[in-house]
Amino acid sequence: MKRFFTISGVFMLLLVSQTTFAQEKRVMKSFTFKSDKSKKNSEDKTTIYEGNVMMKNDNISFENAEKVIYNAEYGTYTIYSPKNFKIIAAKSVHKTGKKEDSHVIIYNMREESVTF
């Protein structure tokens, strides 16, 4: 009987530790994206969206951007001259301080970070 409780206890600890240490998988609840033109480059795994680009998801939203370059390899969106850019939620926000890049915003979807 003692052995049964020991085995049951170890089994329960394994079950609890599995759910405790499992990696969190984030799922986007909503994602809206529109543009006038798009062009995909399979070699460097990028997609270029041009003309009135609009995006809204759980973390950021903007409208009427001139151009957005999505890099699928790194999960980044490079956003050029967006209007009404809003950060809804982000794990980190960085500012480069470079004056020439003042109209460029980089959003990393995997890290949930925004760089100005």
Task: Identify the residue with better confidence: 21 or 41.
Answer: 41
Residue 38 lies in a domain: yes
- Give the pLDDT mean for 72-93: 92
Residue 86 lies in a domain: yes
Please check whether residue 47 is in contact with residue 39, taking contact to mean a CB–CB distance below 8 angstroms. yes
Q: Is the pLDDT of residue 20 over 70?
A: no
pLDDT at 2: 73
Residue 4 lies in a domain: no
**Residue 75 to residue 65: CA distance in whole angstroms:** 19
Q: Which domain holds residue 78?
A: 31-115
**Residue 76 to residue 56: CA distance in whole angstroms:** 15
Band of pLDDT at residue 103, cut at 50, 70 and 90: confident
Residue 9 lies in a domain: no
pLDDT in tens, 30-50: 788 899 999 999 899 999 999
Residue 83 lies in a domain: yes
- For the ranges 2-16, 31-45, 65-79, the lowest mean pLDDT is seen at 2-16
Q: What residue spans of 1-116 are helical by DSSP H?
A: 2-21
Straight-line distance from the first to the last Cα atom of the chain, in angstroms, rounded to the nearest whole number:
64
Closest CA to 105 of 73, 72, 60: 60
Residue 24 lies in a domain: no
Domain total for the chain?
A: 1
pLDDT at 17: 63
Q: Which residues pair with 56 in a beta bridge?
A: 32, 61
Average pLDDT of the chain? Answer: 84
pTM of the model: 0.73
Q: Is the pLDDT of residue 108 over 70?
A: yes
